């Protein structure tokens, strides 16, 4: 198991709509996340900044490839796409702006 964290950024003023949709994520989207090996997945928000924390099994990029190619996720991303800025600030070769764990206390 790995603990993974990364950032995303909403467009100005999109927080309330984002919260509303994430209080009612589609069951088939939740099933997909579980099926690829995600657990303890929290999304935290402050203003336009989102922090995503999760436990995963196996390789992050291989796992996210499976999510990306799933029709349920394609529908979900189309529904959510309007909320996000186009550039989250990911670096060269990064899928998302990943954060590195520098301390852990069990």
Q: Which long-range contacts (CB under 8 A, 24 or more apart) does 16-24 make?
A: 17/83, 18/45, 18/50, 18/80, 18/83, 19/45, 21/79, 21/80, 21/83
Residue 55 appears among annotated catalytic residues: no
Smallest gap, in angstroms, from Cβ of residue 65 to a second copy? 19
Interface with a second copy (CB under 8 A)? 3, 5, 7, 18-19, 22-23, 25, 30, 33-34, 38-46, 49, 51, 53, 97-106
Minimum distance of a second copy from residue 11's CB (angstroms): 16
Catalytic residues: 22
């Amino acid at each position: 198991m790995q603990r993974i964290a990364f950032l995303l950024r909403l467009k100005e003023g999109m927080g309330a709509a984002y919260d509303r949709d994430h209080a009612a994520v589609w069951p088939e989207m939740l099933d997909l996340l579980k099926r690829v090996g995600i657990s303890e997945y929290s999304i935290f928000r402050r203003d336009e900044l989102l922090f995503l924390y999760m436990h995963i099994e196996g390789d992050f990029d291989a796992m996210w490839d499976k999510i990306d190619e799933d029709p349920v996720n394609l529908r979900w991303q189309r529904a959510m796409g309007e909320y996000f800025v186009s550039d989250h600030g990911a670096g060269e070769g990064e899928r998302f702006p990943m954060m590195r764990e520098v301390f852990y206390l069990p």
